[in-house]
Structure 1
Amino acid sequence: MSEVLTYTPGDGDYAWTFGGAAPVARIRPGTVLAVYTEDCFAGRVRSVNDLVSEVCEFPFLNPQTGPFYVEGAEPGDTLAVHFVDIEPARDWAASTTVPLFGALTSTHQTATLQPPLPEVVWIWDLDRVARTCTFRARDSDVAVELPLDPMHGTVGVAPANLEVRSALVPDAHGGNMDTPEMRVGATCYLGVNVEGALVSLGDGHARQGEGETCGVAVEAAMNSVVIVELIKGRPTPWPRIETDTHLMSLGSARPLEDAFRVAQLDLVQWVSAECGLSELDAYQLLSQAVESPLANVVDTNYTAVAKVRKAHLPPRADAYGVHAALRAQAAAHRG
């Protein structure tokens, strides 16, 4: 039987950074973590009248559950975080427009003369039985049902070089990558930078479109289950994801083309190493087979995804040798 740790943070127990926060618990590799994560607004946006500028206090946004100290984790290792279950904890979720934030408005870094967009809140109804999210327009009677597709916008470890990064920032340590690919069945690989790794997660989304265009997804508190495994002696330079069907690399940077380049280069080098191809051969193969969804184009760094179907690659084992075993462990945990 897997060791299971259930953890629900109190109001003062959340982390707001990666790095710089004391661990809330120590776990052994292979531990199943059953955790509660609050939404990015710390649960303070509960109605259409709760404007972020009035009920939230910057920089205390995007609270993280953790960090968890993984015994035996050292710099140069890789942490594997497998998502067993991600389930909304409430029957509603919130989304907003935020002044000077989002891809289709003026921002502090894309400064223009026109005024910011108005601050508006939408409350989405979540039907956890029917597996739907319901959008209700603010300016008409239109309602639209979309499929529930829960994911975690944020998962990461402490950064290297004594850095402390806001939970709003994605980078090589993971963090606020905001990719819909971080859903049930995925294994996220993160390079360990400090002793114990110090892994945290949060920012649950009931669903999110690629790019997170307005800057805010369908933000939801979550009850999530993950398995945390340790891969000794295997460095991982940028966050990677493995599913049953795909390998993916994630790059975070500004400008967007640099995030694209980071993700594409990492996938080329990953496939080259795993499949016995030269880098140029891997470059050519992936140039014709890669998919390139955007994760976010709104955060302090943008995040791009480079993904390839395993079926398009030469025969090979699990990329890190753990995904299939974690899938089996997840199935056994569910019973």
Structure 2
Amino acid sequence: MSIHSVRRSQTHLSWSKSVPPVLTIASGDVVSFDCLDASNGQITASSGVADILVAKLAVMDQVNGPIYVQGAKVGDVLKVELMELTPAEWGWSALFPGFGLLADEFEGTALKLWSIQDGVATTTMRLRGSDVAVSVPVKPFMGEVGLARGAEGHWSTIPPYRTGGNMDTKHLTKGSTVYLPIEVDGALFAIGDGHAAQGDGEVCGTAIETPMRVTVRLTVLPASNTPPSMLAPHYESTNSVPVGEAYYTTMGIATDLREAARDAVRGMFGYLVSQHGFEREDAYILCSVAADLRLHEVVDMPNYLVGMMMPKSVLPVP
């Protein structure tokens, strides 16, 4: 196993098989990334609302990479183990005009700067005309985790796709593992958009955005050893709610929210049948009685992302 590093300047702004890799590694190698925040450095710890008004959206949501993984072939799956996630000592959240689930109801602009210390992020908010300190627990994760698409052209880093991307899924914390379908040889993995904390859905369009140092292990899984039902990324997590419960989660990604939910269920149903040997009817029933559908991401149009989270405690050993 080798350990590699990617600098914060080694970024790109689209998912494309034509973007040249910054690094070539062997399957099973570890890579550390030094990532700027999602604003690409346009917002700093001393910024004000004026910086939001002049920020260039076209250069935001950059991703570090891509990484070419030797032996990765179309149809295989890339296993991404999230080993370390270290946020900066500050972060920001904002309202951008025209963005967010209630964009038509919030026409103004706002910016909150957060201090991140000892596992807690703190900012000041207005409550009945007075400034009040508000704190939330820090649970770092990366919003962008993905691979190049097989389709021709350059694809925006704003929405999620079948190969990952801007999934904005708060459960992808340290110790979690993401499985990404490979559509191009070499996989071309990239990562970015550090978050110190976020709720499911990221409804206003930003989390606590922060620069992040992240370390991952990238391993190629042959198509013969992976679920045939991978319509979108899968992941395993142990830091979800309730805390300490381990989950296997399948994702659905679609322009229609109901279809995204249906795809998430199809993915779980297929996983239970192919990897655990459940009969079809039993797998469908177990999806209904034990798994939770979660709105992981609802603002990065045109795609919604829904996760079906199955407690691993109810699953027999495959």
- Scaled by the length of structure 2, the TM-score of the pair is 0.91
* 1:121-136 equivalences in 2 (<5 Å): 121-127=111-117, 130-136=118-124
Judging changes above 3 Å, is the alpha-carbon distance between structure 1 residues 270 and 103 closer, same or farther for their aligned structure 2 residues? same
What's 1:320 paired with?
none
In the alignment, is residue 137 of structure 1 matched against residue 137 of structure 2?
A: no
The CA deviation at 1:163 is 4.5
Count of residue correspondences: 301
Q: Which amino acid aligns with 2:41?
A: G
Deviation at 1:3, TM superposition (A): 0.7
Which stretch has the larger CA shift, 192-201 or 232-241?
Answer: 232-241
Match of 1:118 in 2: 108
The residue type equivalent to 2:12 in the other structure is A
Tell me if structure 2 keeps the 8 A contact 1:206–1:218: yes
Counterpart residue number, 1:302: 304
Pick closer, same or farther for the CA change 1:50–1:199 going to 2, 3 Å.
farther
C-alpha contact 1:157 1:192 (8 A) present in aligned 2: yes
> Residue 259 of structure 1 corresponds to which residue in structure 2?
260
**Partner in structure 2 of residue 5 of structure 1:** 4
Separation in 2 of the partners of 1:292 and 1:131? 28
Matches within 5 A, 1:232-247: 232-233=222-223, 234=226, 236-244=230-238, 245-247=246-248
Structural mapping, 1:247-286, within 5 Å: 247-286=248-287
- Kept in 2, the 8 Å contact 1:158–1:164? The answer is no
Determine whether 1:23 maps to 2:17. no
Residues in 1 aligned to 2:70 and 2:130: alpha-carbon distance in whole angstroms = 54
Residue pair 2:92, 2:209 contacting (<8 A) in 1 also: yes
Q: Which moved more, 1:64-73 or 1:139-148?
A: 139-148
Structure 1's unaligned 5+ residue stretches are 107-113, 317-335
In the alignment, the residues of structure 1 paired with residue 232 and residue 280 of structure 2 have an alpha-carbon distance, to the nearest angstrom, of 17
- Residues 87-236 of structure 1: pairs in structure 2 closer than 5 A: 87-88=86-87, 90-106=88-104, 116-127=106-117, 130-137=118-125, 140-233=130-223, 234=226, 236=230
Q: CA deviation at 1:117?
A: 2.0
Indicate conservation of the 8 Å contact 1:177/1:252, yes or no: no
2:305 and 2:212 map into 1 onto residues whose CA distance is 23
Residue type of the alignment partner of 1:217: A
Alignment partner of 1:252: what SS?
strand
Residue ranges of structure 2 left out of the alignment (5+ in a row): 239-245
Question: Among the aligned pairs, what percent are the same residue?
Answer: 32
Which amino acid counterpart does residue 306 of structure 1 have in structure 2?
A: M
> How much has 1:144 moved relative to structure 2?
1.5
1:273 CA drift (Å): 0.9
The alpha-carbon deviation at position 81 of structure 1 amounts to: 0.5
Task: Give, in whole Å, the separation in 2 of the partners of 1:27 and 1:315.
Answer: 32
The match for 1:51 is 51
Counterpart contact for 1:44–1:50, Cα < 8 Å: no
State the partner residue of 1:81. 80
Secondary structure at the counterpart of residue 281 of structure 1:
helix
Partner of 1:42: 40
SS at match of 1:155: strand
Distance 2:182 2:63 in 1: 18
- Report Cα offsets for 1:78-119 as digits up to 9, x if no partner: 10000001101x21101100111111222xxxxxxx7x5211
Q: CA-to-partner distance for each residue in 1:39-88, whole Å, 9 max, x for gaps? A: 1101211222343330x223211010000000111101110000001101
CA distance in 2, matches of 1:16, 1:41: 12
Q: After TM superposition, give the deviation of residue 160 of structure 1 in Å.
A: 1.9
Task: Provide the rounded CA distance (Å) in 1 between the counterparts of 2:288 and 2:35.
Answer: 38
Cα contact 1:167–1:175 (8 A) shared by 2: yes
- Distance of 1:117 and 1:161 partners within structure 2: 36
Is residue 260–residue 305 contact of structure 1 (8 Å, CA) maintained in 2?
A: yes
CA RMSD of aligned residues (A): 1.5
**Separation in structure 1 between the aligned mates of residue 280 and residue 97 of structure 2, nearest angstrom:** 44
Structure 1 residues 174 and 4, CA gap change in structure 2 (3 angstroms): same
Are the aligned partners of 1:50 and 1:121 in contact in 2 as well (CA < 8 Å)? no
The AA in structure 1 aligned to 2:11 is Y
TM-superposed CA distance for 1:315, in Å, is: 2.8
Name the structure with the higher strand share: 2
Partner letter of residue 183 of structure 1? T
